[in-house]
Amino acid sequence: MNKAGMVFAVFAGVVVLTLLLYGFFLLSTNEIGDSSQEFGTIELIKVPWMDIAATSAAASLVLEALGYDVVVTSVSVPMVYQGLSSGEKDVFLGNWMPSMQEIAQPHLDHGTVENIGINLEGAKYTLAVPDYVAEQGVTHFSDLKGHAELFDRTIYGIEPGNDGNELILQMIEDDAYGLSDFILLESSEAGMLAEVNRHVERQEWIVFLGWEPHPMNMKYNITYLAGGGEYFGSDYGAANVYTNVRSGFMEERPNAARFFKNLEFTLEMENEIMMAMENGAEPREAAREWLKENPAILEDWLAGVRTADGSDPVQTVYRHLGIE
């Protein structure tokens, strides 16, 4: 090889080496950038219900152990979907279906919100009465009208804008089951349950919005009313709860997305965490204690999920929660 050829070969080699190093640099930079974006803040959004407080607390504890910062905001159901659709919030663990259909479906249809799967099966959501009322012949939605005076023509609901309240208001407007002269008393979950407690203590008649999982099912002897399928769905308001995310979340945060797709709860789990909350524990404290006593569930939740520092995810979460 002549001198010119040797010079060209050396130059070409330097160029190739430079391009390879530059490519490696870009790859490393992109990985760091992706990791930084992946393990940034996750904005959870919830409604002020005990069950969603419990599940959001459990998810937050695990995400924090993995290396995420988590912010949880509590709003009404319509505001949940505004927050997800605007991209300001990331994840909602409380999409009760079919009762939230009218509120959630437009956002799902527009593609601003994505449904990534069921996190709880076997829930229910419909009107309920104490057992002593059911024993007097009120077991069906159509039985309410004939006992209107005993109910003071009032149905007790929860916070304004709630999907269950909206279904009750629609029933009243439609004069379904002869309920046009009833009113809906909107309050909050705690406010409604205080009324249930007061009426039960006095053995007075009350009809209210009930659901499971919730400690009300263990604290009170209640009967869910039949016949509300047109509004609350069949089989006594049988429901599934879904996880919803904002558009783009799955692509931008694939590791967190994997965790949320893995995330499944049980009626027993939620009832036990909520019972601890009912007894005075904060949601995070109640969720932490349940996870410490039932750590096996974490292996399913963390399958295919990584931590910010590359450590073993299950062992990392165990250490964070104080599981031995």
- Write the Ramachandran bin of 248: left for phi over 0, alpha for psi from -120 to 50, otherwise beta: left
pLDDT at 1: 53
pLDDT in tens, 41-71: 999 999 999 999 999 999 999 999 999 999 9
Domains of the chain plus CATH, in order, are 36-122+243-321 (3.40.190.10), 123-238 (3.40.190.100)
| Residues of the chain scoring pLDDT < 70 | 1-36
pLDDT in tens, 171-210: 999 999 999 999 999 999 999 999 999 999 999 999 999 9
Please tell me the pTM assigned to this model. 0.82
Return d(Cα 9, Cα 256) in angstroms, integer.
48
Please provide the DSSP assignment of 6-75 as one string: HHHHHHHHHHHHHHHHHHHHHHHHHHHHHHHHHTSEEEEEE-S-HHHHHHHHHHHHHHHHHT-EEEEEE-
Q: What are phi and psi of 279, to 5 degrees?
A: -90, 10
Residues linked to residue 97 through DSSP beta bridges, in sequence order: 240
pLDDT at 35: 57
Residues linked to residue 43 through DSSP beta bridges, in sequence order: 71
Q: For the chain, give me the number of helices (H) and strands (E)?
A: 16, 9
pLDDT at 8: 43
Return d(Cα 121, Cα 235) in angstroms, integer.
14
